[in-house]
Chain A
Amino acid sequence: MTAAVQTLVMLSVAVFATVVVLTRDPLHQIIALTPFSISLILLFTVLQAPDVVLSAVVVGMLAWPVMVLLALGKLRRNEVDP
């Protein structure tokens, strides 16, 4: 049972990570990032690493997307008024 759940979650991480890589537009990539982050959080939970889960929740769901969004906003502004 444990092995089955672990295998399932690991496969989901592999699938969602591939989706992120195959998404070419950075803005769309942030959206693809969310299921990837959730699957990573599930993986750490299944592997009984609650310490890591706490960091992964904030970094994956909040800090990372926001920083990428801000960087994209800066890039877009540079394109509008160079």
Chain B
Amino acid sequence: MNARARRGVFLVGAVGVFGYLMWGVAGLNGFGHHTQTALRYANGVVAAASPLRHASNAVTTVVMDVRGVDTAGEELLLLAAIVGMLMVLRKADDEEIVPARLEAPDRVGTGRSRATSVVAVSVAAAVGVLGLYIVAHGQLTPGGGFQGGVVLAAPSILLLIGARHETFERFHYGLAWEIVQAIAVTAFLGVGVAGLIEGRGFLANIVGPGSLGTVYSAGTIALLNVIAGPAVATAVVLAALQIYHQMIEIRRER
């Protein structure tokens, strides 16, 4: 098929898809408006979040309580994604591991500006504390396990950018992160199964609601946030770590 015919086929398809898409968009509610059903759902959630669950963040209430099963799926999806990535990026049979410090100790960690190093390393600890705060206050203010988990992974990436290779490696022994990932995912499902054992269904909010407005509130919402935080953080760090090892240490055998 020549270029002209190919373009013709593409145009027919593109016009069809675009028309269909526009037809769908035209049927949407106006921006910022909602259907009666959505409004009723939203009102129900807001009515449940604060009085029933003692959680002032309605978004986290939906994610960790009302739609907790979806979040469990998301958690497993993350696990599957990271396991797949580690498998694809592992050392292949025709590759060898050359420890970076043996090959070119003078070259590792050079080539970045000192300003980059200073900024990255000096803010790393503060960003970590911010991540812990966002995870722990997920039921109160915007944030939660998933958002805070990503922030928790940031110090590792900052160290990767700013610290020397040896310093980075000292904090990033891969197995430790894998163990934390495994424990966190198991704990998440464990909280769900605990609901089943209580006889109230998978991921039911079986912990008492606590007092509204404090860290110790919202029952399993807070608990699941604290579990999801490390799970998400280790997943992101493991991904970065594996790509880093691919670049620094894994070579094709000659």
Contacts and interface: CB of A to CB of B under 8 A. Distances in A.
Nearest to A54: B147
Interface residues of B, number: 27
Contact of A67 (B31, B143, B151, B243): B243
A58 B31 CA distance: 28
A38 B142 CA distance: 19
A51 B147 contact: yes
Contact of A59 (B60, B144, B150, B161): B150
Contact of B160 (A66, A74, A81, A82): A66
Task: Label chain B's interface by main secondary structure.
Answer: helix
Interface string B130-148: 0000100000001110111
Contacts of A4: none
B171 interface: no
A74 B147 contact: no
Interface stretch (B8-16, B43-51, B203-211, B244-252): B244-252
B187 interface: no
B150 A58 contact: yes
Given A58-B150, A66-B160, A51 B252 contact: no
Contact of B252 (A6, A58, A62, A78): A78
A55 B146 contact: yes
13 contacts: A50-B142, A51-B144, A54-B143, A55-B146, A55-B150, A58-B153, A62-B157, A62-B158, A63-B150, A67-B240, A70-B244, A71-B247, A81-B251
Interface of A: 6, 50-55, 57-59, 62-63, 66-67, 70-71, 73-74, 77-78, 81-82
Interface of B: 31, 59-60, 134, 142-144, 146-148, 150-151, 153-154, 157-158, 160-161, 236, 239-240, 243-244, 246-247, 251-252
Given A55-B146, A57-B151, 5 more contacts: A51-B144, A51-B147, A63-B153, A63-B236, A74-B247
